[in-house]
């Protein structure tokens, strides 16, 4: 420790203000394009110490070459390499929204651990994940990157991911720094339109949007990325209340803050900065340590520092935070530790990684509907796989696929062939493009499907229809795909609808027409195989939605965590909070997901009528497997505070457990509730718990619960 302090202090002592500001400058290479402009003259800037870190550059070879240049700079400070490793690096896991539907925290942590190992073997030190923005709006394309609508589950997942990425020691070859993003409230743009204004009450921030950021920071995330949006009229990247008062002072964050892509210069577009110098000053003063791509810290801060407009002492603090990370990553010991081709070959997509990715894909898929028990299918007869996504490998990887290689991915059709071998005849036709109708393709698909015993129809969004800058005002299947669906239904054959997307879709029409619906998200490298595992029952679906599917886009934003209002929903009362044309609830709600078995729930009991302050109470449910085979289920526990000093949601997730029951087996499953579970942001936002009556509810989804009451004394 002492040697670290001595070393870093001595280094800082040798730095001019220009050297210091160089460390605060993050430049973009061109191995990927993730923003409006790439940086120029990378090598020149590295050589002259004008760059502390790079993004969108990887591979042992390239990072070594650039690191060598950094070591020829006057102070020889090594570079940090960062990249958007969002759901895997080479081995691609399901998109985060899909992965969250596994409700399997160990598996999620393991996926981040694998991503860290592959990223690190590829020269990287820093990943721009976890994205923990809660969102209630499926129009927003970036819901694909998050963990859905629930702050409590989102917090657990955020912690698992930070642990997975960072491990116990950043210098380990399998560890990378996590970057919690996007701070803050990026998941609530008006109208679900990316980059749009956010306008939110402090209560909504505290109750719904802040918890996952806070949890990730509590888990030790080393860095935080700002959001593109404004908060209370001040862009997040220039918001001192947000970055300094709240994040650093109140929450105790000790790591460093990087802006999002060019967000410092975008403050001029927001209209809070008139000049480059203003923008740099605002962001720096707010608490930003590193400027991603704008280069305004690099250009403006030296002068601002020299003139006293910005304190050089604060610049020192920012530089020190970054240098400390470099030390902790082991960069001053061996800057080339992550630049070994041979090691990379052993790590990338190794069989263990692929096996876990396959398991993650299986667990992410959600069986939305299986009315006549059509699934699992038998491996026999003639099976037609139809649809524009049926044989697409690229779309399996989804948005933000990092260094994922589509040629290594299995499409649904690949998976089907592997699973079935010679046991059945497989036919295939695209039937349509993803977005454009094609009558020839349609006719061909009809012909192919006519001779099949069963149809598997694979429809949905391609990888470009979600993610950043991919908001949609209409979240139905594209018209041409609906046309294909109609044509398939007309054949009157058993038909499984498999949907893929990076967001909840509006599937009301499909729900009326299809008996069997399986949602596969963008399931990653092994997605095609996992899909076949689920379709043929080698793996029974276990996924539960972490974001409800609306009946109609007009319901958005929506969440199961809504409040009662003064005029609660009542279908038969005119002046109640409802729509004239659709029910209030989701078509497929948060927590929903079926499997190839039926369970009976109940009774639900409390261990006592009363719970003392600081004590605990146990809520139990009897659950019975009614089917003739062993099966797994994820039970969920929700709580409601019936009367409080501020309004509380109708239900809030506070626990879940996955259990496996033998055929006919009954089991009592219990959850222990403590005062912490009953705590909420009080009238002045300080966490409190208040005596009174509560409802505990257990069931298979947020919309299917059995309740019991108890009181907190």
Residues serving a catalytic function are: 260
Bin 233: left if φ > 0, else alpha if -120 < ψ < 50, else beta: left
The CB-of-685 to ligand BGC minimum distance in angstroms stands at 28
The CB-of-525 to ligand BGC minimum distance in angstroms stands at 21
State the Cα–Cα distance between residues 527 and 537, nearest whole angstrom.
Answer: 15
Which tokens belong to 5? 């302090």
Nearest residue (CB) to ligand BGC, 177 versus 413: 177
Spatial contact of 178 and 166, defined as CB atoms under 8 Å apart:
yes
Q: Which of 130, 116, 220 is nearest to 173 (CA)?
A: 116
Q: Which residue has the tokens 């949609």?
A: 472
The CB-of-38 to ligand BGC minimum distance in angstroms stands at 11
Q: Classify 686 as helix, strand or coil.
A: coil
State the Cα–Cα distance between residues 343 and 145, nearest whole angstrom.
Answer: 29
Measured from the Cβ of residue 672, the count of other Cβ atoms closer than 10 Å reads 11
Spatial contact of 488 and 495, defined as CB atoms under 8 Å apart:
yes
The CB-of-402 to ligand BGC minimum distance in angstroms stands at 10
Q: How far is CA 608 from the centre of its chain?
A: 38
The CB-of-406 to ligand BGC minimum distance in angstroms stands at 20
Nearest residue (CB) to ligand BGC, 38 versus 627: 38
State the Cα–Cα distance between residues 75 and 388, nearest whole angstrom.
Answer: 54
Nearest residue (CB) to ligand BGC, 127 versus 545: 127
The CB-of-401 to ligand BGC minimum distance in angstroms stands at 13
Spatial contact of 680 and 642, defined as CB atoms under 8 Å apart:
no
Residue numbers at the binding site for ligand BGC (CB under 6 A)? 34-35, 55, 84, 128, 181, 260-261, 468
The end-to-end CA distance of the chain, in Å, is 48
- One DSSP character per residue, 152-164 reads HHHHHHHHHHHHH
Nearest residue (CB) to ligand BGC, 97 versus 542: 97
* Residue closest to ligand BGC, measured at CB: 34
Spatial contact of 531 and 365, defined as CB atoms under 8 Å apart:
yes
Helix or strand run (H / E) with residue 566:
none
Q: Which of 704, 658, 653 is nearest to 156 (CA)?
A: 653
State the Cα–Cα distance between residues 713 and 711, nearest whole angstrom.
Answer: 6
Nearest residue (CB) to ligand BGC, 128 versus 536: 128
Peptide bond preceding 523 in cis form (omega within 30 of 0)? no
Nearest residue (CB) to ligand BGC, 260 versus 652: 260
Report in angstroms the alpha-carbon separations of 527 from 35, 95, 492: 28, 11, 28
The CB-of-154 to ligand BGC minimum distance in angstroms stands at 16
The CB-of-636 to ligand BGC minimum distance in angstroms stands at 30
Nearest residue (CB) to ligand BGC, 400 versus 514: 400
State the Cα–Cα distance between residues 489 and 495, nearest whole angstrom.
Answer: 7
Bin 693: left if φ > 0, else alpha if -120 < ψ < 50, else beta: beta
State the Cα–Cα distance between residues 519 and 541, nearest whole angstrom.
Answer: 10
Measured from the Cβ of residue 479, the count of other Cβ atoms closer than 10 Å reads 13
Nearest residue (CB) to ligand BGC, 85 versus 586: 85
Helix or strand run (H / E) with residue 473:
none
The CB-of-84 to ligand BGC minimum distance in angstroms stands at 5
Nearest residue (CB) to ligand BGC, 54 versus 457: 54
Q: Classify 276 as helix, strand or coil.
A: helix
Bin 668: left if φ > 0, else alpha if -120 < ψ < 50, else beta: beta
């Amino acid at each position: 420790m002492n040697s670290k302090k001595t070393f870093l202090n001595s280094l800082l002592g040798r730095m001019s203000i220009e050297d210091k500001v160089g460390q605060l400058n993050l430049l973009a290479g061109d191995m990927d394009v993730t923003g409006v402009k790439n940086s120029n003259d990378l090598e020149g800037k590295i050589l002259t110490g004008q760059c502390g870190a790079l993004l969108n550059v990887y591979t042992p070879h390239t990072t070594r070459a650039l690191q060598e240049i950094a070591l020829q700079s006057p102070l020889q400070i090594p570079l940090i390499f960062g990249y958007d490793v969002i759901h895997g690096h080479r081995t691609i896991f399901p998109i985060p929204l899909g992965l969250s539907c596994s409700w399997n925290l160990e598996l999620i942590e393991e996926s981040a651990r694998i991503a860290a190992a592959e990223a690190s073997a590829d020269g990287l030190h820093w990943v721009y994940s976890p994205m923990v923005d809660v969102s209630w709006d499926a129009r927003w394309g970036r819901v694909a990157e998050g963990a859905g609508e629930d702050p409590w589950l989102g917090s657990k997942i955020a912690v698992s991911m930070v642990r997975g990425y960072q491990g116990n020691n950043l210098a380990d070859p399998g560890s990378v720094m996590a970057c919690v993003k996007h701070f803050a409230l990026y998941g609530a743009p008006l109208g679900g339109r990316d980059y749009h204004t956010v306008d939110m009450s402090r209560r909504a921030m505290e109750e719904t949007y802040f918890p996952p950021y806070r949890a990730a920071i509590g888990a030790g995330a080393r860095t935080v990325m700002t959001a593109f949006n404004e908060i209370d009229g001040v862009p997040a990247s220039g918001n001192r209340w947000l970055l300094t008062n709240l994040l650093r002072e109140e929450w105790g964050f000790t790591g460093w803050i990087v802006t999002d892509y060019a967000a410092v210069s975008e403050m001029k577009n927001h209209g809070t900065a008139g000049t480059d110098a203003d923008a740099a000053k605002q962001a720096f003063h707010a608490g930003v340590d590193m400027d991603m791509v704008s280069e305004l810290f690099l250009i403006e801060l030296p002068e601002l520092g020299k003139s006293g407009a910005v304190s050089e002492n604060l610049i020192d603090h920012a530089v020190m935070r970054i240098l400390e990370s470099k030390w902790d990553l082991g960069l001053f010991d061996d800057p080339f530790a992550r630049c070994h081709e041979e090691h990379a070959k052993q790590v990338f997509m190794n069989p263990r990684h692929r096996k876990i990715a396959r398991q993650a894909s299986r667990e992410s898929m959600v069986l939305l509907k299986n009315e006549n028990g059509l699934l699992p299918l038998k491996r026999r007869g003639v099976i037609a796989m139809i649809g524009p996504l049926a044989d697409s490998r690229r779309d399996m990887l989804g948005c933000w696929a990092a260094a994922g290689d589509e040629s290594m991915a299995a499409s649904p059709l690949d998976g089907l062939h592997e699973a079935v071998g010679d046991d059945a005849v497989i036919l295939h036709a695209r039937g349509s493009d993803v977005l454009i109708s094609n009558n020839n393709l349609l006719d061909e698909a009809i012909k192919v499907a006519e001779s099949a015993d069963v149809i598997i129809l694979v429809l949905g969004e391609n990888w470009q229809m979600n993610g950043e800058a991919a908001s949609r005002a209409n979240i139905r299947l594209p018209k041409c795909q609906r046309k294909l669906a109609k044509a398939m239904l007309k054949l009157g054959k058993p038909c499984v609808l498999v949907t893929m997307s990076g967001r909840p879709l509006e599937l009301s029409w499909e729900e009326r027409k299809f008996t069997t619906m399986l949602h596969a998200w963008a399931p990653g490298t092994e997605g095609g195989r996992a899909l076949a595992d689920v379709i043929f029952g080698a793996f029974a679906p276990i996924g539960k939605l972490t974001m409800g599917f609306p009946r109609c886009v007009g319901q958005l934003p929506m969440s199961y965590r809504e409040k009662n209002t003064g005029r609660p929903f009542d279908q038969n009362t005119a002046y109640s909070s409802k729509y004239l044309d659709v029910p209030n609830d989701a078509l497929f709600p948060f927590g929903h997901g079926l499997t190839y078995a039926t369970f009976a729930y109940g009774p639900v009991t409390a261990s006592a009528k009363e719970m003392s302050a600081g004590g605990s109470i146990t809520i139990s449910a009897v659950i019975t497997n009614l089917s003739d085979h062993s099966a797994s289920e994820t039970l969920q526990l929700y709580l409601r505070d019936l009367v409080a000093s501020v309004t509380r949601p109708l239900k809030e997730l506070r626990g879940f457990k996955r259990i496996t029951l033998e055929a006919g087996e009954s089991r009592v499953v219990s959850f222990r509730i403590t005062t912490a579970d009953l705590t909420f942001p009080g009238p002045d936002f300080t966490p409190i718990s208040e005596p009174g009556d509560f409802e505990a509810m257990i069931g298979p989804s947020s919309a299917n619960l059995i309740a019991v009451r108890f009181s907190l004394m």
